[in-house]
Structure 1
Amino acid sequence: MKLLRKITLAAALGVLAATAALAAEPAAIQKNWTAPMHKMLAQALVDDVMASHPELLSLTLQGEPPGHKGVYTMFAGSFPDRIGKVSSAVDVLVITKGYTILDPRWNQDDNPRKSTYLTPLRDKAGQNVGLAVVVFKNPAGTNKSEKEFFLAASEIRDKLAQRIPSHAALFGPAAQP
């Protein structure tokens, strides 16, 4: 029951944040971090997941880069121009509290249609090391339920965890083939 309350609270906060964002004027992407010149393990993981999951619209990883306490940023993702983007208040809630937010984009006019899941990113030891935002394509006529999308997002997160030795390793160089 406690988990259900956390999910409900997180969903409510997500709706509030989304409503506020819709009311605001579009702004340039605000960045607070610059990735190193080498390809990081985190980016290699995103690239691998995107290549093996054509049902995904995007995947981003967010959190605190080493040595940047209190700086929450997108550090890897399927849209490289957004790397370094400041994390939203809802993203920070997932990163710091470990909530999972299910956003099926119900009654939204998204083009393309999508279903979004914000879930804690974990390492092999099960420690929270950030946030994974998993966005699925949800074309008209898809009969996939919210539960099915949730389970698929959880599976992606869990498989990522198996490949993450530690928080610091995410920012280290990706292994060369």
Structure 2
Amino acid sequence: MKLFKLTVAVALAGATMFGAVSSASAAEKNWTPPAHKIYGQKLSDETMAAHPELLSVTLHGLVPGSTDKYTMFAGSYPERIGNPDDPDDIDVSKKGITIVDPRWNRTKDNPKKFVILMPMRDAKGENIGLVVYAWKNPPANANNSADEESYLKKANVLRDALAKKIPSYDALYADAK
């Protein structure tokens, strides 16, 4: 079995993760999806349908043909597709780190959620971007290391199952069949 180095960063209270993403307007988008459904969106939809415990699943990476435009290109919030990635999203894509974010002290999040940002992999095990999993309504005490480890294990299982369905990064942008 291939061993992967895993670096975990825990986002602390007051982190600005996702702050700009939810308010981006059409003028701020750096990519427009094609008129047809892409394979990446199909995978996101399938994951959401199979896992009702999730609040969202989003796929991020470089815009096709670009070397510096990182974006959300598929996910459970269609209005956010094409929004530029935040610096923490780009760090996950570029550095291969995982961010475990229990959303400590975030009273404005509704519903409450627990977020894991981790490298998205293809079927060969190569890091090809970022996948973000958000679970809804975590337990009130979901800010301890046991809960963080539990969510990280769940995210690894979901990500590894997703990877088996991704032959290449380019395939994520192909027409969903």
TM bucket normalised to smaller: 0.7 to 0.9
**One-letter code aligned to 1:131:** L
Counterpart-to-counterpart distance in 2, 1:129 and 1:20: 21
Amino acid at match of 1:96: K
The 8 Å contact of residues 122 and 129 in structure 1, kept in 2 or not, is answered as yes
Asked if 1 retains the 8 angstrom alpha-carbon contact of 2:13 and 2:106, the reply is no
Q: How does 1:122-141 map to 2 (within 5 A)?
A: 122-140=121-139
The structural deviation recorded for 1:95 is 0.4
Rounded to whole Å, the distance in 1 between the matches of 2:152 and 2:119 is 13
Give 4+ residue runs of structure 1 displaced > 4 Å after superposition: 14-17, 19-22, 139-144
Q: Match of 1:39, SS?
A: coil
* 1:98 and 1:119 in contact (8 A); partners too: yes
Equivalent residue, structure 1, for 2:149: 147
Aligned pairs for 1:36-47 (under 5 A) are: 36-47=34-45
Q: CA deviation at 1:20?
A: 8.5
Q: Which runs of 5+ in 2 are unaligned?
A: none
Structure 2 CA distance, aligned partners of 1:46 and 1:164? Answer: 12
The normalised TM-score by structure 1 is 0.84
* Distance in 2 of aligned mates of 1:27 and 1:170: 25
Tell me the secondary structure at the aligned position of residue 145 of structure 1.
helix
Match of 1:111 in 2: 110
Measure the CA separation in 1 of the matches of 2:126 and 2:18.
31
Aligned residue-pair number: 166
Structure 1 pair 59/86, CA: closer, same or farther in 2 (3 Å)? same
1:134 & 1:166 partners in 2: Cα distance? 20
Q: TM-score, normalised by structure 2?
A: 0.84
The answer to whether the 8 A contact 1:73-1:84 is kept is yes
Unaligned regions of 5+ residues in structure 1, if any? none
Picking from 70, 86, 89, the partner of 1:88 is 86
Take 1:124 and 1:137, find their aligned partners in 2: how far apart are those partners?
Answer: 28
In the alignment, is the contact (CA less than 8 A) between 2:17 and 2:86 conserved in 1?
no
The CA RMSD over aligned residues, in Å, is: 2.5
Match of 2:96 among 95, 98, 101: 98
Query: Conserved in 1, the CA contact under 8 Å of 2:59 and 2:132?
Result: yes
From 67, 70, 90, the equivalent of 2:68 is 70
